Structure 1
């Protein structure tokens, strides 16, 4: 069954956290799809993935790039999975009706945004009601992620 993780972002913004999580995903040999709320946000995330570190980049693509099946990370504002991803990252309050085809679904939300926190709570309740194993992660002072629930 799909694992569902919620990452409460308080110490670092999404543009700093997401690349690290995607690197770990690729190290496992998994493919990822990142679902954001809009095409404009997809463009911003794409730029962040190319430039987040001087010595590295994350190979990825979006609809404007085409060849989804060749992309290890696919950025979309839709509920599609054209690259056969194992893991789905949902950001900016985005959601999808069915996560059962994934090994893992990861919701990342801004802990400084009351609306984002409320949305994440609703998503948490919905995932639990569907019988998924749900965990909640928060960043400690040291920068490490700690499981809180």
Structure 2
């Protein structure tokens, strides 16, 4: 049974924070579903991941291709799209996460922009829904300039 990790982005934007988390998840040997809501934003993130420095290359693809099952990191726009059998789900831009996914996967990461009041409200709702369903969750903040665990709810 996994846990949901909430990452409150206040110092660094998504495209700077996500590669670090993706690198750690890949180092753990996990296939990853990277779930957004808007196909245009998924395309934007795909382009950002391709222009990273060579020493931090993250092999990935957008769901809907012929080789989805082989992708270490698969960008999707909805639940059930991940043909790569992920052990880790990273949701961003308010993408939905079901309690069953937290149970089934090794790790669920929910990243949200702390400078966007709507994103913060959405993340609070996700925290409440997942913890009310009995799922373990941790809340991490970077407001001090480094990541610190600020809250934890056990399963």
Q: Secondary structure at the match of 1:148?
A: strand
Q: Secondary structure at the match of 1:131?
A: coil
Contact 1:31 1:84 in 2 (8 A): yes
Q: Secondary structure at the match of 2:110?
A: strand
**TM-score of the superposition, structure 1-length normalised?**
0.93
Contact 1:16 1:52 in 2 (8 A): no
Aligned residue in 2 for 1:44: 44
Contact 1:37 1:77 in 2 (8 A): yes
Whether 2:88 is the aligned partner of 1:82: answer no
Cα separation, 2, equivalents of 1:146 and 1:102 = 23
Q: What displacement does 1:33 show?
A: 0.3
Runs (4+) of structure 1 exceeding 4 A deviation are none
Contact 2:94 2:123 in 1 (8 A): yes
Whether 2:60 is the aligned partner of 1:60: answer yes
**TM-score of the superposition, structure 2-length normalised?**
0.90
How many residues are treated as equivalent by the alignment? 148
- Structure 2: runs of 5+ lacking an equivalent: none
Aligned residue in 2 for 1:28: 28
Q: Secondary structure at the match of 1:136?
A: strand
Cα separation, 2, equivalents of 1:25 and 1:144 = 19
2:123 corresponds, among 111, 114, 120, to 120
Moved more, 33-42 or 98-107: 98-107
Whether 2:73 is the aligned partner of 1:70: answer no
Whether 2:77 is the aligned partner of 1:92: answer no
Contact 1:60 1:74 in 2 (8 A): yes
Cα distance per residue 1:11-46 (max 9 Å; x no partner): 000000011100011111111001001111111111
Cα separation, 2, equivalents of 1:16 and 1:71 = 21
- Structure 1: runs of 5+ lacking an equivalent: none
